[in-house]
Amino acid sequence: MKQIVQHLFAFVQQPVILVAEDGRVSVAAGLEKGGPDQQQVVLDALPNPTLLRSWMATQAPGALPQAVGLLPLASSSGAFRASIVSAICVGDVVRGYCLLLRRETVAGQEISAVEEVAALQGASAAALEWAKQNAVGIAEDRMRATFLDELLASEIADEQAWIQRGASLGYDLVKPHVAILIEATHVPNWPAPLLRFVQQQNITGPYAKREEGVLIFWPVDDPKSGRALKAVAHDLTARLQTTHPKVRVVIGIGRPGVGPAHWRQSQMQARESWRLGKEWETSPVTYFGDLGLYQLLTGLGSNPEAARFYRKTLGKLISHDDNRNAELVQTLDVFFVCHGNLSQTATRLHIHRNTLTYRLEQIAQITQLDLDDADARFSLQLALKLRPVMK
């Protein structure tokens, strides 16, 4: 873009400025002699977006790419009083404007042939450059979108190759990365608010959409803990709740993956943290490092022997509750929470002690386990702890 405006300035000997559709200055040439302060005075006096759009609206349909207009500058613009304007059209979309500044001595004259050619050629060249940049940007976005999926689906044999590939997309895979799985409902245009938040944190990390939500890998300095990201996740949640009162946020955070080969494990931890957090509904943010015993039990979630043990120990009791709308599993859980104290258990469940005794007899009959036997009680407690990771 810089070469375009410099070439135009050399041709027309008038300052040339390219501005985006929203009025932001992209690049300028021919204002260097005035010094930074004078340059800013001129830039502040350029036609605002409202004036530019109003001029654009006066053009006949289909004629905008060949239209050239004359618009005034603010009176405080120093030696310049007007600007020649031509729209930068990429397809059917106006991306910005090419402006040629006029000095006060010629401000009211008709647009010359040289000015018309320079404005139109400048707008046309800028349109081609922006189209090229847009095409490159789309290609990079597609590569970024597939990068994380490919990395997590691959058996990482050569980490250095993935590090180099990540670097070409702006990712520093040498640093540890923490997987974060973020679900947010009732948020319009999701995940755009999330991506803006990430950008505001000056973070560049790969992300991908998942059925559960958005999976993002967040670079960190600590290779042993991702606990610091709990504060970041709570900040994101608070912002979303402020702007979208009906939002429901569930965030699962894994441990750091040091090197791409360990990212898949961090992803599994984030997904498990998300799942348990969604089930427990105690906090919108769950960090895998806070799960305690569940960190060990998570590894048993896909273990066939653990699944058989779980079904054998609790399967009939769960089926009984489902079929009869009963609460025997909850009763058993509270019974163990109260360390087998019948009075405390009955109080916690808001039932009579005789009702509790009857339920415990039902539990023993259905499970074929003696609640007075230490091994049987341990088996039932372990099965109850396995329940969240078996769902």
Domains, the chain, in order of start with CATH, read 2-126 (3.30.450.40), 159-291 (3.30.70.270), 304-390 (1.10.10.2840)
29 vs 141, residue with greater confidence: 29
pLDDT at 35 over 90: no
pLDDT tens digits for range 326-343: 999 999 999 998 889 999
Q: How are strands ordered across the β-sheet holding 16-20?
A: 25-29, 16-20, 93-103, 80-90, 69-72
For the chain, give the secondary structure using H, E and C.
CHHHHHHHHHHHCCCEEEEECCCCEEEEECCHHHHHHHHHHHHHCCCCHHHHHHHHHCCCCCCHHHCCEEEECCCCCCCEEEEEEEEEEECCEEEEEEEEEEEHHHCCCCCCHHHHHHHHHHHHHHHHHHHHHHHHHHHHHHHHHHHHHHHHHCCCCCHHHHHHHHHHCCCCCCCCEEEEEEEEECCCCCCHHHHHHHHHCCCCCCEEECCCCEEEEEECCCCCCCCCHHHHHHHHHHHHHHHCCCCEEEEEEEEEECCHHHHHHHHHHHHHHHHHHHHHCCCCEEEHHHCCHHHHHHCCCCCHHHHHHHHHHHHHHHHHHHHHCCCHHHHHHHHHHCCCCHHHHHHHHCCCHHHHHHHHHHHHHHHCCCCCCHHHHHHHHHHHHHHHHHC
d(CA 137, CA 172): 19
Give the model's pLDDT for residue 75: 67
- Is 289 within 8 Å of 226 (Cβ atoms)? yes
The neighbouring-strand residues paired with 72 are: 82
Q: How far is CA 381 from the centre of its chain?
A: 39
Residues 6+ apart with CB under 8 A from 293: 385
Mean per-residue pLDDT of the chain: 89
CA trace torsion 366, 367, 371, 376 (10° rounding): 170
Highest mean pLDDT among 66-70, 165-169, 175-179: 175-179
More confident of the two residues 302 and 21: 21
pLDDT at position 288 over 80: yes
The amino acid occupying position 165 is R
Give 274 or 302, the one with higher predicted confidence: 274
105 has pLDDT over 80 = no
389 has a pLDDT exceeding 70: yes
Instruction: Report pLDDT for 231.
Output: 94
Report pLDDT for 136: 64
Share of the chain above pLDDT 70, in %: 96
**Can you give the pLDDT at residue 390?**
77
Q: What is the pLDDT of residue 303?
A: 82
**Count of alpha carbons within 13 Å of 41, Cβ hemisphere only?**
13
Categorize the per-residue pLDDT at 138 as very low, low, confident or very high, splitting at 50, 70 and 90.
low
Helix axes 304-324, 328-337, angle to 10 degrees: 120
How many other CB atoms are found less than 10 A from the CB of residue 234? Answer: 15
Asked if 37 contacts 112 with a C-beta cutoff of 8 angstroms, the reply is no
Average pLDDT, stretch 21-47?
Answer: 85
Residues 6 or more apart whose Cβ sits within 8 Å of residue 204: 170, 171, 172, 219
293 has a pLDDT exceeding 80: no
pLDDT at 107: 67
Q: Which of 24-38, 43-57, 204-218 has the lowest mean pLDDT?
A: 24-38
Quickly tell me which residue has 């009939």 as its tokens.
Answer: 316
253-284, pLDDT tens digit by residue? 999 999 999 999 999 999 989 988 888 777 89
Bridge partners (DSSP) of residue 249 are: 184
pLDDT of residue 294: 73
d(CA 261, CA 318): 39
pLDDT at 66 over 80: yes
- The pLDDT confidence band at residue 38, using thresholds 50, 70 and 90, is confident
Residues β-bridged to residue 180: 216, 253
Burial pattern 116-148, b for ≥16 Cβ within 10 A else e, equals bebbbbbbbbbbebbeeeeeeeeeeeeebeebb
Q: Which residues pair with 80 in a beta bridge?
A: 103
Cβ atoms < 10 Å from Cβ of 159: 14
Q: Note the pTM of the prediction, 2 decimals.
A: 0.54
